[in-house]
Structure 1
Amino acid sequence: MPDLPATHPEALRALLARTLAGREDATAAVVCLCAAWCGTCRDFQPGFERAASAHPQAVFRWLDIEDEAHALGDLDIETFPTLVIGGADGVPRFAGPVPPQPGQIARLLQALGL
């Protein structure tokens, strides 16, 4: 999993578990780790929201790393936007920075079989 500390897979699992909580019908979780001060993140957000609408079977979460620092656990994010994608089982399937193009989300979900 690029860009995220490989020594903290439990933090990724915990993040996905919190995202999936209460959504037994979900097939996947997509978490965008961002920051309010990041212009690239702000530009990416509308496309992220469109991707969420296009994939109602998945749980999408926009997580500002400063406003919700407690949700990150031991993760240290340096590149924005960073996506964390996991299956319904909460197992991380992708974690890393992506080009700020909303189409990337659909391609990743398809490539991961989610």
Structure 2
Amino acid sequence: MVSSFNDSFSVVCLCAEWCGTCRAYRAAFAGLGARFPGARFHWLDIEDQADQLGDIDIENFPTLLISRGTAILYFGVMLPHPEHLVRILDNFQAQDGRESLAYAHADPLRRAWQKDPDLQNLLRYLAP
């Protein structure tokens, strides 16, 4: 499994245009692409792209999904402060592929993300 591991990072922000917090966060989120040139940053409006989300439950905004290859490392609400995302991405990028896979399967919640068909479909939709 590790030998075929895709090492690329994706960062997906699930927001809504009507959300003032999302609108305020969007420019900062987009700007992080320059700091992390090896990562793909995606902004998804949950209403405009609802068909791609399936039954993914969005509890609050912004909700982020961070993956390395097909391994989901983070899925949940994150305060809309770019420094929080920078810190978590720095930590994830410091891991090698084996460490990321171990992290993705280290607890029941993260293991559930790996098997969630809607999250996996979203990753496939966003794949290059």
1:109, CA displacement in angstroms? 0.9
Distance 1:62 1:42 in 2: 11
Question: Amino acid of the residue matched to residue 86 of structure 2?
Answer: A
State whether structure 2 residue 77 is matched by structure 1 residue 97.
yes
Q: Please say if residues 59 and 77 of structure 2, whose CA atoms lie closer than 8 Å, have aligned partners that are also in contact.
A: no
Given candidates 37, 48, 68, the residue that maps to 1:56 is 37
Distance 2:14 2:53 in 1: 9
Counterparts of residues 1-114 of structure 1 (less than 5 Å): 27-87=8-68, 89-113=69-93
Q: Which residues of structure 2 form unaligned runs of 5+?
A: 1-5, 95-128
Using the size of structure 1 for normalisation, the TM-score is 0.72
Structure 1 residue 108 displacement after superposition = 1.0
Aligned-partner Cα distance in 2 for 1:112–1:56: 14
Secondary structure in 1 aligned to 2:31?
helix
Question: In 1, Cα distance between the equivalents of 2:76 and 2:48?
Answer: 20
8 Å Cα contact 2:13-2:44 kept in structure 1: yes
User: What amino acid is aligned across from residue 41 of structure 1 in structure 2?
Assistant: C
Which runs of at least 4 in structure 1 moved beyond 6 Å after TM superposition? none
Task: Give the letter for the 2:45 counterpart.
Answer: D
Structure 1, unpaired ranges of 5+:
1-23
- Structure (1 or 2) with the greater helix fraction: 2
CA distance in 2, matches of 1:29, 1:35: 19
Deviation of the 1:37 alpha carbon:
0.5
